[in-house]
Amino acid sequence: MDSKEFGKLIEEAQAGDHRAFEELVRDTYADTYTLAFRLVGDKEDARDVVQEAYLRAHKGIKKFRGDAQLTTWLYRITANCASTYLTRRNKHQHGDLDGLDPVDEDPDRDPTNRADVADLRSQLSDALMKLPPKLRSVVVLRDIYDLSHESIAEQLDITESAAKVRLHRARKRLREHLYPMGEEDQAHAV
Amino acid sequence: MLCSTISLELAEIADGSAELVDDSRVHVERCIRCQAELVQYKKILRGLTSLQGEFIVPDDGLLEEILATVQPPATVHKLHRLNHKHRKVAYISSIAAAGAAGAIVLAARLASREKVAS
């Protein structure tokens, strides 16, 4: 669907046309679900987050001003819903979102032998799922979905500097996971 | 300059939000390991960006679930009313059926008593 058609549907949905809103859902839900899954790391939880996100989008569609893309607006809503969901889940599980260091389930990792992009993507997806949710949320929103630090901070209810610190830690962990250091490198890092 | 100091900036340099200047530029130009780390961050960021075009396919039924969640209130009300109407019809029908069954049983008993009496 091109942006003109998209814009028309948004206008119709804002005017109360439920079918137009349904069409927007059909066109965006796979993308929104993918983001939700990357944020919460569980299929069932991602379904709940997506439903909540569209419910909020439905209630707030009239407030959408069109100064951002609809998808970016949906990303922000989804990020906010996922953050709320993770906080609630964490309360029930009494766990720490920052958690322990991710468990290394695959010690046989050597990216130099697997240089192709598809493989890197698959390794990255795995590495992302091993990050604690608080770090994962920030790196997913910034580096995959290109949300600004300001927007990320707002949706996750944290300060902008906290978002930047988390991003730095997340990227560092991803690098450590994908390119584990040898003894020589560890000495270099000191 | 220490590698560990530069290391804090390498990811930001890789995404273009910071630049290598003065001492740090000189250091990275000479340090093969910092160069390698910078390349690794660049690869990771490229890989992450490319993930945006990749969809995770949801299990069946998600679209229907979402559409049901965002049903306009009027439709939900209509559905409730419809359900209520159906329940009412079913209730009246069951009362009528029970009444008819009772009448048949009563008629059958009366008929058998009359037979016995005659």
Complex ipTM: 0.78
Q: Which of B4, B40, B59 is closest, CB to CB, to A43?
A: B59
Which chain B positions have a beta carbon within 8 Å of A124's beta carbon? 44, 47-48, 51
Which pLDDT belongs to residue A88? 84
Under 8 Å CB pairs connecting chains A and B tally to 98
Which pLDDT belongs to residue A98? 45
Residues A175, B37: C-beta atoms closer than 8 Å: yes
Domain ranges for chain B, please list them: 1-54, 56-118
Give which of B17, B35, B52, B57 to mutate to test A binding, by max A Cβ within 10 Å: B52
Is B41 in contact with B20 (CB distance < 8 Å)?
no
Q: Which of A26, A33, A120 is closest, CB to CB, to B47?
A: A120
CB atoms within 10 A of CB B9: 19
In chain A, which residues have pLDDT < 50? Answer: 95-108, 113-114, 190
**Topology (CATH level 3) of domain A1-93:** Rna Polymerase Sigma Factor; Chain: A (1.10.1740)
Distance CA(A183)–CA(A181), nearest Å, equals 7
Residues 6+ apart with CB under 8 A from A74: A28, A31, A32, A53, A57
The minimum CA-CA distance between A181 and chain B, rounded to whole Å, is 11
Which chain B positions have a beta carbon within 8 Å of A51's beta carbon? 65-66, 69
Percent of chain A with pLDDT over 70: 81
Segment A154-175, tens digit of pLDDT:
999 999 999 999 999 999 999 9
